[in-house]
Chains A and B, each alone.
Chain A
Amino acid sequence: EIVMTQSPTILSVSPGDGATLSCRASQSVTTNLAWYQQKPGQAPRLLIHGASIRATGVPDRFSGSGSGTEFTLTISSLQSEDFAIYYCQQFHNWPPYTFGQGTKLEIK
């Protein structure tokens, strides 16, 4: 089973600033990685697939990068609606599909 580890657990950032979230896989997942955003009381929403491809309707302030075992989700110029929990997930070697434990992006 591939273990996904996200860091940091909590990230405090001021609106208008940028944020960088990290995700590490215990073995290579090539670019078979997705990022999701989840707000309280809502289902997760797909942001990025294929490590760097924005899903339909996702603002271009969200960008994903990385391959192999190291991945990054970058959010430029944070808006109020961006404060949420973010999860990464690998699709390379399954079952099981595995998620990271999440990074909570909170307002500083």
Chain B
Amino acid sequence: EVQLVESGGGLVKPGGSLRLSCAASGLMFRTQNMNWVRQAPGKGLEWVSSITNDASYIHYADSVKGRFTISRDNAKNALYLQMNSLRAEDTAVYYCVRESGSFDIWGQGTMVSVSS
């Protein structure tokens, strides 16, 4: 069974940092392009960042550029999102998503709350 499992969410103060992880199983992770998508409470979906299978191309939404860093470890079948200088508006559920022409496989999400 193909599965993406996020972890690392939690409550953090404004200006703080958090590192999200996504463990992939049941797929050939090293060949997959991956993304992070977030959803603020009661709001719609917002693409955050993407990384190609070999990390040769990386993109960020303007809202997180310079603060967030996406990375991956293909040997560990893992995707990461390092989030620095967190703001209240970063509060959201963060989803790890496989991209294969569309966003076809989603994790269950991990909640990040930024509040003092």
Contact = CB atoms under 8 A, between A and B. Distances in A.
Contacts of A89: 45, 102-103
Which residue, of B45, B46, B47, has the highest number of chain A Cβ atoms within 10 A?
B45
Interface stretch (A21-29, A65-73, A74-82, A92-100): A92-100
Chain A binding site: helix, strand, loop or mixed by DSSP?
A: loop
A69 to B, nearest CB: 19
Contact of A43 (B44, B101, B107): B107
Nearest to A91: B102
A45 to B, nearest CB: 7
Interface string B91-116: 00001000001111011110000000
Nearest to A43: B106
B61 interface: yes
